[in-house]
Structure 1
Amino acid sequence: MRRVLGLATGLVLASTALVPAASAAPVPAAAGAGRAGAACRTDAGKCGRDPLIAIAVKVRATPAARPGGKVTYVIDYSQTWTPSFAPYWGALWVGGRFPKGARGPVRAALHDTSGRRLAVLPCRRYADGVWCDAHGPMPHQGRIVMSARLPATAKGTVTARLGFDSFESLNEAEYARHHGRKKLREKFCEFRFTKTAATRVRTE
């Protein structure tokens, strides 16, 4: 069942809330993450604005792998937000597009900045990629680790484009409904923060 994230300025509203860093100062939404306004896809929402929460991501992958081999992806992220977004209710998903023909992942691991594992996130394939439900406590900064297996026919350099989807702006009632990804895309503003990582396919 989908659980979404609720925040208020500097205060935790629910156990699934993002935890802001006490010393973090708001920075422009584009810093390190790119402008995300064009990523809004819903017909119902009016998203002619920057996201209320922006997510800077850095993505790296196993540098080289054989055809059919496993590639591990690491997403380091940091969230920034506007100073006056309360009350805020939103939903986060992590993942994206993996190399063509790749299998997985079925789960991703969430770590804090010290490397301690906080949660395992379930993942599913959707029309726009493989996305993992980022439920539970979500730190302001952290790391997501996930793996995919390349197809046996892979060759050359294969790329993945990974990061976060953030859905805004739910209200408390919508938050309580625990919408799935399909419903979130239909009803709310979607902002996407992704970067590309490449892996060379070894044939020797």
Structure 2
Amino acid sequence: MRRSCRVFGVAVGLTLIAAALSPIAPVEAACLGAVKKCGRDALIAIDVRAKGTPRAHPGGQVTYVLDYSMTRTPSFAPYWGSYWVGGRFPRGARGPARAVLFDETGRRLAAFPCRGHSDGVWCDTGGRIPDRGRIVLTARLARGATAAAVAVARVGFDSFDGLTEQEFARHLNRQKSREKFCNYRFTRTVTTAVDS
């Protein structure tokens, strides 16, 4: 009996070692590459109010306006954040190609380039944006949009916080940031009625 238990234990041990050394399945790899879970609230919370063009024709332009304000959690240790603005735009829409930043007085401060990612169109702010301001993004609806439809967008901020000054200066891309830092998304839904 003892010998059979020992043989069984060795077999189980070898099976576990083989499983540990085997390549990761694609589904498991996708999970491992997902957003880092931090188990805490954001150190830099972003309140976003979003509005868009209320009505547009198929192929028409829709402008999204994001008024935002950031609240930083008090801390003895300094920390930084990096931010992307954008989100998921209506199906088939083109753009936005850039996001324009304005301060509270309406003065234009900067424009950020945008590009498509697997989770939407995001514009890299470079991290240096004021704690309050306005972002304006413009997209063009698909020409084939059906009449009396509703074009839905989910727009706002994708942020990473808890960076040190050196990490902030390195300006990592979104993929590296998602692996390394705490990721938080602050978005709002905006609807546009599509007329014929």
* TM-score category (smaller protein): 0.7 to 0.9
Alignment correspondent of 2:137: 146
Q: Deviation at 1:166?
A: 0.9
Q: Residue 86 of structure 2 aligns to which amino acid in structure 1?
A: G
Q: Which secondary structure does the structure 2 equivalent of 1:184 belong to?
A: helix
Return the TM-score normalized by structure 1: 0.75
1:106 maps onto 2:104 in alignment: no
The structure that is helix-richer by fraction is 2
**Aligned equivalents of 1:176 and 1:93: distance in 2?**
16
User: Which shifted more, 168-177 or 62-71?
Assistant: 168-177
Greater C-alpha radius of gyration: 2
Contact 2:55 2:193 in 1 (8 A): yes
* Contact kept? 2:158, 2:185, Cα under 8 Å: yes
Q: TM-score, normalised by structure 2?
A: 0.78
CA contact (8 A) 1:67 1:150 kept: yes
Aligned-residue identity in percent: 61
Residue 174 of structure 1 and its aligned partner are, at CA, apart by: 2.1
Task: Name which of structure 1's ranges 177-186 and 82-91 shifts more when overlaid on structure 2.
Answer: 82-91
The residue aligned with 2:24 is none
Q: Give the equivalent residue in structure 2 for 1:78.
A: 69
Counterpart Cα distance in 2 of 1:191 and 1:137: 17
Residue 83 of structure 2 is aligned to residue 92 of structure 1? yes
CA contact under 8 A between 1:108 and 1:121: conserved in structure 2? yes
Q: Which runs of 5+ in 2 are unaligned?
A: 1-31
Partner of 1:31: none
Provide structure 1 residue ranges, at least 5 long, that are not aligned to the other structure.
Answer: 1-40
RMSD: 1.8
Residue in structure 1 matching 2:126, options 128, 131, 135:
135
Are 1:42 and 1:189, in contact at CA under 8 Å, matched by a contact in 2? no
Alignment of 1:57 with 2:53, yes or no, is no
Question: Within the alignment, does 1:167 sit opposite 2:148 as a pair?
Answer: no
